[in-house]
Amino acid sequence: MQQRETPPPAQAGQARPEGFVRFADVQKTFDGETLVVRDLDLDIRQGEFLTMLGPSGSGKTTTLMMLAGFEVPTRGDISLQGKSIKDLPPHKRDIGVVFQNYALFPHMTVEENVGFPLLARRRPKAEIAMRAAAALEMVRLGGFGKRRPQELSGGQQQRVALARALVFEPKLVLMDEPLGALDKQLREHMQLEIKHLHARLGITIVYVTHDQDEALTMSDRIAVFSNGRIQQLATPRQLYEEPANVFVAGFIGENNQLAGTVVAAEAGGCRIRTSDGSEVGATAVDPLAAGQGVLLSIRPESVAVGLRATGRQNRVSARLLELIYHGDHVRLRTALGGSQDFMIKVPRSEIDGVPSVGETVTVGWDRRDCRAFLAG
């Protein structure tokens, strides 16, 4: 199987080309009333790994199925390389698809399963055999061609499904929760396998998952879905460190939320009074004015405890309610700012400085690590 060159990274100040896949004003309803996908405009770049992430019912899988051709948009258009594919049947879209349940034929051998897309395209037998063997080598299953799917482990079956999706060298590969049926250790291993394969081949992958860690690990960009809309489209780091709204802040990673009121608004920031009377500085995400209600978002790992809180821009008192051991770190559940579930992550190397349950301690964080959203 030929390897494709990965598109070069964008130079400083230069955007990567967009529009390899384009959703233009796409909507989807199944009953004529409820919109499962609404007002979707999305460009997917050639050669990128884009993940559609969101809870069940958010519209991510329906979006993928419309791209694959298994669902038809109620409104709008979908194009691939500048040509509309909205009315094109799935088998004519030149798209590889990998599902969670593998969808392998049990009566066929592994090599027959992998070669099936080529057989359907009426390729010569010798070519099918050669390309199926190459695809199996690519996913590290050389020598497994004569086995049946039921003789393989779950991870091996998923590799077979991946080889089958790649064997005809599609322009685009779609993956719908492909690792959902695997155990945690194997799932994490396969995440890296797929990520490395993507980097080596330079293909475009659109991946659907509800697992935020999976999305953060594998993706170039992530589209976070909720209620049929993309809430934010950004790199993993941008999503985690600069969430655009309360939903994204709460869905991506662990997050503490504190209710408060704006005391003063200033350029790029604000002063907030929490429900227990503490006053802290925050980065304003939305335009804010004095007297408005807000929700503060603070990551557990951004909070320092005790002496390590010295020098932080915000310092408040907290009472330790619970200590939870996680091996490489300890989580402290504290009462702070009106919340009884304010979590703090302390690395194992700093455990000796952790107070005892019931004690009151100073905790602190910097303004840049505290984001203020207008309360809904």
Res. 222: pLDDT tops 50: yes
* DSSP secondary structure of 96-138: EEEETT----TTS-HHHHHHHHHHHTT--HHHHHHHHHHHHHH
Res. 2: pLDDT tops 60: no
Matching residue, tokens 């505290």: 370
pLDDT digits (tens, 9 = 90+) for 283-314: 999 999 999 999 999 999 999 998 899 999 99
Question: Helix or strand or coil: residue 276?
Answer: coil
Question: Helix or strand or coil: residue 351?
Answer: helix
pLDDT digits (tens, 9 = 90+) for 132-165: 999 999 888 999 999 999 999 988 998 899 999 9
Q: Facing residues of 346 across strands?
A: 330
pLDDT digits (tens, 9 = 90+) for 78-105: 999 999 999 999 988 989 999 877 789 9
Cα atoms in the Cβ-side hemisphere of radius 13 Å centred on 37: 28
Q: Are 173 and 96 in contact (CB under 8 A)?
A: yes
Q: Are 37 and 30 in contact (CB under 8 A)?
A: no
Mean pLDDT of 225-250: 95
Check residue 181 and give its pLDDT: 76
Instruction: Name the DSSP class of 15.
Output: P
Domains of the chain: 21-248 (3.40.50.300), 254-374 (2.40.50.100)
Which pTM value belongs to this model? 0.87
Task: Identify the H or E element spanning 246.
Answer: helix 246-251
Q: Are 257 and 338 in contact (CB under 8 A)?
A: no
- Residue 18 pLDDT level (bands cut at 50, 70, 90): low
